[in-house]
Structure 1
Amino acid sequence: MSAARLLVCYGGTFDPVHNGHLAVARAARDLLDADVALVPAHDPPHKGPTRADALQRAEMLELALAGEPGLRVDRRELRRQGPSYTVDTLGELRRELGADAPIAWLVGADSLLELHTWHRWRELFTLAHLVAVQRPGSEVDAARLRAQAPEVLAEIDGRWLPPGDLAASPAGGFALLALPALRPESSTGLRRRIREGGDWQDWVAPAVAAFIDRHGLYRGPADILPASPHPSQR
């Protein structure tokens, strides 16, 4: 049994980071009694090009997390060439932290339903636990998984753990993390508000709002992005 503190990795484009992202990170920290690393993707294989570049997105994350205990930015995917595959990131972390360190990867409910499209997705469970965020209105249960992602349900069957048990083992478990309230923020909606001159500053940390204004971000054409050149894999 491991006595080490659980590390939860929260990956994404964070284009830009908003208060909804911070609410998820804080909930993971507080409800799982964990340290949380937010991992910005350099080349997200499941999405088109980002609007802000990788360093700008990482800098906004650093600004948003300043003074937040237990939350930090992990820039390792920015230093790696090629698609930002989760299995590669977790492999690096496992080599660094050792075989016994408890690690979890945090995903949203929609991502859980697409997990079987991720690169070498079954290997994720040999490297870490998987935690799916349950947002009000987008809950995932066995019936929905059976209907939409039977391969995922078959893989996680037998892996379900209470969230509080994740720190007791290094990898292999699956848990649901229920958020207490529905958040209005989304990166797409935030970029639209900025582009159209609507109210948006209260969706982000003040330092992030100042950064966006200073660099003139998200004020160009609408988010009509070309299809990703990579398969829909994370």
Structure 2
Amino acid sequence: MYEMYAVFGGTFDPVHFGHLFPVEALAQQAKLTRVLLLPNNVPPHRPQPEASAVQRMNMLRYAIRNRPLFEIDSRELMCDTPSWTVATLEVLRNERGPQAPLGLIIGQDSLLSLSKWYRWQDLLSLSHLLVCKRSGYSVELGSPEIRRWLDKHITTQIEQLHQHPAGFIWMANTPLVNISATGIRQRRLQGLDCNHLLPADVFDYINRAGLYLK
């Protein structure tokens, strides 16, 4: 019997409770044993991070210090090419073998825009998609083609995620945490407190490093 774990990518600029709380809830519901945090180096669909790779890694280390569910996977930070999710999943699938279940954790907003991702049609051949709720987003996808794709692959049975290596989409009942990294950076510029939005050790590091002040 294989253990099931999942990967969760992002710029984490900075990492905050909007990342951590929903994923912790999802992991409990899906009975995940481990979540790999994958910080992006060159995100293909968004602006480049303000904090350096080293600084974002340090913030992640502080964030998960007392959260044994999480591990950090820095492989994407080692590359200067765009961080294509499908390429990383191919490497992870080779490492895990063909039969081990693997999940990719995304937000509802990412599900709605999935058809814009590089080689998005290949994602379900490599992993399950585990979807966190996002405030203000519905589960209605755009085109009839995408809606048919969702209907074909969606499941409500957690057992199927563990019994199959890939191929299912599962919508988690996660808390809606209305926090964004953009909002935290804006609050920093305005001199507002952010301590309630991210782990205290992360905020202490941000202050020591003088991040997000310009």
Normalized against structure 2, the TM-score is what?
A: 0.94
Deviation at 1:21, TM superposition (A): 0.7
Are 2:152 and 1:168 aligned? Answer: no
Contact 2:105–2:129 (8 Å) recurs in 1: yes
1:10 counterpart = 2:4: no
CA shift digits 1:27-82 (9 cap, x unpaired): 12211111111111110000011111122112211110012122111111111230
8 Å contact 1:100–1:170 — kept in the other structure? yes
Deviations 1:104-136 (Å, cap 9, x if unpaired)? 111111111110111111111110011121235
C-alpha contact (below 8 Å) 1:129/1:170 kept by paired residues: yes
CA RMSD of aligned residues (A): 1.4
The answer to whether structure 1 residue 24 and structure 2 residue 19 are counterparts is no
**Aligned counterparts of 2:47 and 2:69: Cα–Cα separation in 1:** 31
Cα deviation code 1:175-204 (max 9, x no counterpart):
10121x332311111111111101211211
Residue 124 of structure 2 is aligned to residue 125 of structure 1: yes
Show the 5 A alignment for 1:39-188: 39-140=38-139, 144-145=140-141, 148-162=142-156, 164-165=158-159, 166-179=161-174, 181-188=175-182
Residue deviations 1:124-149, cap 9 Å, x none?
11100111212354231xxx21xx24
> Are positions 1:212 and 2:206 aligned together?
yes
Q: Distance in 1 between matches of 2:135 and 2:183?
A: 18
What is the rounded CA distance, in whole Å, between the counterparts of 1:83 and 1:153 in structure 2? Answer: 28
- Identity over aligned pairs, percent: 38
CA contact (8 A) 2:23 2:132 kept: no
CA contact 2:109–2:134 (8 Å) conserved in 1: no
Number of residue pairs aligned between Structure 1 and Structure 2: 212
* Structure 1 residue ranges without an equivalent (≥5): 221-234
| Structure 1 residues 48 and 189, CA gap change in structure 2 (3 angstroms) | same
Does the CA contact (< 8 Å) of 2:134 and 2:176 recur in 1?
Answer: yes
Does structure 2 retain, via aligned residues, the 8 Å contact 1:8–1:37?
A: yes
> Could you say what secondary structure the match of 1:77 adopts?
helix
Task: Point out where structure 2 has 5 or more consecutive residues left out of the alignment.
Answer: none
Confirm or deny that 1:203 pairs with 2:202.
Answer: no
| 2:133 and 2:176 in contact (8 A); partners too | no
Letter in 1 for 2:147: L
2:37–2:71 Cα contact (<8 Å) kept: yes
